[in-house]
Amino acid sequence: MIARPEERITTPQAAVIVINYILGVTFLTLPRVTVEAVKTPDVWITVILGGLITMIAGVIMVKLSQRYPEKTFYQYSQEIAGKWVGGLLSLFTIIYFFSSSAYDARMLVEVTSYFLLEGTPSWALLMPFMWVGLYLIMGGINPIARLYEIIFPITLVIFTLVFFISFQIFEVDNLRPVLGLGVAPVLQGTKSTVLAYTGVEIMLIILAFMKQPNKAVQAVLIGTAVPMLFYVMTVVIVIGALSIDGVITRTWPTIDLIRSLEITGLLFERFESFFLVIWIMQIFSTFTITYYAAALGLAQLFQKDIHRCMFYLLPVIYIIAMTPKNINDLFTFADLVGDTALYLFGLLPLILLIVSRLKEGKHEAKL
Amino acid sequence: MKQSYSQVRCFLLSLFVLLSLSLAGCWSSNEIEEVSLGVGLAFDKGMESKVERELREKGGGYPKKDLITTTFQIINPQASGAGTRGGGAAQQKPYLNVSETGDSVHQIVREFSLRTDRPFVSQHLKVIVFGEDLVRRISLEPLTDQMLRDNQIRPSSLILISKGRASETLETKKGGEVPAFRLHGIVDNQYRSTRIMPPMSLAKLEGKIQSGSSFMLQNVIAANREIKFAGAAVIKGRTNKLIGFLNETELEGIMWITGKGSKGGVVKSFDKQTEQLIVYEIKSMKSKITPRVNGSNISFDVNIESEGRLSEDWVESGDPFDNEFLKRAEKAAEEEVNRLVHHVTKKMQNEYITDVAGFGNQLRIEHPKLWEKVKADWDQIFSKVPIKYNVKLTITDYGTLGSKK
């Protein structure tokens, strides 16, 4: 049903989708969240570790999806686990996707209304954002992928620029000693860093759209490695500049890093607007891909028209986004969504893969 | 078909009109001429100004304790605009200082909106100066709380301490000068003096406050509407309150210990034989603090190395072409540096019982497990720790003046 030729994406496009999905909200909070868990300057090791674990999970998801060519998770989960269990799993996945898209939308409101557009009501920030998102995903996977291809290089350039500039307040002493208190603290923080990489699960769905599904492993590895690089640079420079004691108290440490320097003689003195612009683009891509994944799931699960599903979801996402009463509620909501992701995409694909292998084995034995 | 065409035209026209309306401005815009651009802040121990007292006597006021007096330095747009054109408004200062007393940092700012039509905007804040009397009484943590929370005040703002009233450092005699910019600019002179600390921004200060270790802040003093950077204030890590000052030479000693001083500074010493003046200009400064741990005994070795130039020589018989003389000059400068570092070490260990030279930091890096044990009362332990200095200065050249007759 989805095999229309224009709905095909190339391998680099698949990788870019994964990259843009992973880079999102956590970008701004990662240094604090990880330092809270690790409490030593070894955070960057934890971030690499989290990336590697995510790569393994991503490869498992790809292997699972490759067994069912041309089919998305919503379709083959019923084949593996039966109509009811599979349907339920799909439903959970759909709920996960639109919840995380609601979370992204709300985060966008929180950050822009504090740092960029103070005084603008939240609905005025949220509605245009959601409408533009809707307009994009109505075109299907291909326009989404092409937009991400435009967003990604811009992100890369501005990010690199901003972080090279930040080197002027970088102090290497803040990152020392390496492994001073042993390996234990590093391992403690792994869960929080793995959560920063939620996004690889999109492979369960976009693999069905890939022109060359056999290259999906490459896509997922590159798609995780690039955010890993971004994340490592972020924690290294933020902690190098602000020290772990300074990071732990800041709500948005990465924004603070950029606000804590001024460059004279480089045309612009301040770079937080640039940085927030690329961040908003990243949030937009995370928001749209999760929105699309949820709508696609609804369409495939209930055999409905996908455009209708998108419109049905629009108010749902808005209401969920507006539900958390304060920023702590929002962070709790994020933890909930993150934990769901751990079970849904960390554990489940492995089980499904084993079940599917066993079933195949039985099937062959019967023959 | 024709009708639909006119409908489209009608639609486009109304769109044009509606969208033009939005061009009028941004949602919550503030015209730049209609806000007070704050560039400097000074916090002092609460002391009501004359105007404030009169206002209060007429019934203006709210329940408060007079803990803090905040002085805002605001750019005066008319005067600074006229000043650039060189007009007759040269008499007018390009800045305005307004003081307000109260007990909450944020409420004081808001109170300001009752006194002027131009609300205070702190997005371009450059400098924050704390007065000695205030920081001796109130910890820096609550004092900076509002500023670190705020979305306007930039964490890049420079933090200074003033021995005396902080508001006095925001005054100047010169016509076109904005005192806050001057304070901010002096920090850039680091390449000319070893008595200027690396800048401490609000963002970095937060890390220092939270770390629990003692640290220094640059001290600035004012006299007769002139200012000078004069040494550093010592902030005790446990309380985040000010406990004392290091004078200019003591700060110089600290800079030698930490190796943070940049090139361009000078060491003035006297030749042993002739008692004449010799000046050594620093071209590079390196220092390595090595903690030595032997059981429960901690000691430190500090290796200071520097290369420099003979930049002034009053010794009549001094002949820089002669290596012997250069050795003598090196020796004299080394002795002076030794004197500086020993003097400030004594002061840290005996008088303030506080480590502000980063010995603890080196111990943390090299012996992290031991540091976890001693960090709670590091300042106490530090005061008894033996420290050995090893100073090596090398004169590489002597400029364009060689031997004398």
Determine the residue among A179, A238, A245 to mutate to test chain B binding: the one whose Cβ has the most chain B Cβ atoms within 10 Å.
A245
B249-293 confidence digits (pLDDT tens): 999 999 999 988 777 888 898 888 888 888 999 999 999 999 999
Question: What is the pLDDT at residue A6?
Answer: 64
* Cβ-defined contact of A256 to B203 (cutoff 8 Å): yes
Q: Name the residue among A122, A105, A104 with its Cα closest to residue A113.
A: A122
- Give B238→chain A minimum CA distance, Å: 14
Average pLDDT value for residue range A107-111: 91
Question: What is the pLDDT at residue B61?
Answer: 81
Q: What residues does each domain of chain B span?
A: 33-246, 250-397
* Cβ-defined contact of A242 to B203 (cutoff 8 Å): yes
Which of B27, B207, B368 lies at the smallest CB-CB distance from A119? B27
B267 DSSP β-pair partners: B280
Determine the residue among B121, B146, B154 to mutate to test chain A binding: the one whose Cβ has the most chain A Cβ atoms within 10 Å.
B154
Question: What is the pLDDT at residue B87?
Answer: 45
B367 DSSP β-pair partners: none
Phi-psi region at A303: left, alpha or beta (left = phi > 0; alpha = psi -120 to 50): left
Q: How far apart are CA A289 and CA A295, in angstroms?
A: 10
- Nearest residue of A to residue B157 by CA position? A260
Residues of B in Cβ contact (< 8 Å) with A173: 361, 365
A358 pLDDT band, cuts 50/70/90, is: confident
Displacement of CA B86 from its chain's centroid (Å): 32
Question: What is the pLDDT at residue A1?
Answer: 46
Q: B250-397 sits in which CATH class?
A: alpha beta
Which of A246, A259, A262 lies at the smallest CB-CB distance from B210? A246
Using a 10 angstrom Cβ sphere, with 0-12 exposed, 13-18 middle and 19 or more buried, the burial of residue B48 is middle
B85 pLDDT band, cuts 50/70/90, is: very low
A191-227 confidence digits (pLDDT tens): 888 888 988 999 999 998 999 989 999 999 999 999 9
Degrees, nearest 5: CA angle A266-B196-B349: 140
Supply the ipTM of this predicted assembly.
Answer: 0.83
- Give A211→chain B minimum CA distance, Å: 41
With contact defined as beta carbons under 8 Å apart, do A236 and A44 qualify?
yes
A310 pLDDT band, cuts 50/70/90, is: very high
* Cβ-defined contact of A177 to B365 (cutoff 8 Å): yes
Indicate if the pLDDT at residue B129 is higher than 90.
yes
* Cβ-defined contact of A124 to B368 (cutoff 8 Å): no
Which of B155, B206, B365 lies at the smallest CB-CB distance from A259? B155
Q: Which position has the higher pLDDT, A120 or A90?
A: A90
* Cβ-defined contact of B369 to A261 (cutoff 8 Å): no
Question: What is the pLDDT at residue B275?
Answer: 85
Asked if A263 reaches chain B (Cβ–Cβ under 8 Å), the answer is no
Which of A115, A124, A270 lies at the smallest CB-CB distance from B151? A115
* Cβ-defined contact of B154 to A241 (cutoff 8 Å): no
Residues of A in Cβ contact (< 8 Å) with B202: 260
* Cβ-defined contact of B154 to A114 (cutoff 8 Å): no
> Chain-wide mean pLDDT for chain B?
87
B38-70 confidence digits (pLDDT tens): 899 999 998 888 888 888 888 888 888 889 999
A286-305 confidence digits (pLDDT tens): 999 999 999 999 999 998 89
Asked if A176 reaches chain B (Cβ–Cβ under 8 Å), the answer is yes
Question: What is the pLDDT at residue A273?
Answer: 83
* Residue B396 main-chain phi, psi, to 5 deg: -95, -30
Compute CA distances B74 → A241, B37, B157, whole Å: 30, 5, 15
- Give A98→chain B minimum CA distance, Å: 30
CATH level 3 topology of A10-321: Amino acid/polyamine transporter I (1.20.1740)
Asked if B296 reaches chain A (Cβ–Cβ under 8 Å), the answer is no
Residues of B in Cβ contact (< 8 Å) with A181: 368-369, 372
Question: What is the pLDDT at residue A59?
Answer: 93
Asked if B372 reaches chain A (Cβ–Cβ under 8 Å), the answer is yes
- Nearest residue of A to residue B203 by CA position? A260
Degrees, nearest 5: CA angle A113-A116-A119: 45
Using a 10 angstrom Cβ sphere, with 0-12 exposed, 13-18 middle and 19 or more buried, the burial of residue A315 is exposed
- In this structure, the number of other CB atoms found within 10 A of the CB of residue B51 comes to 12
Indicate if the pLDDT at residue B90 is higher than 60.
no
Asked if A120 reaches chain B (Cβ–Cβ under 8 Å), the answer is yes
* Cβ-defined contact of B201 to A248 (cutoff 8 Å): no
Which helix (H) or strand (E) segment holds residue A355: the answer is helix A348-366
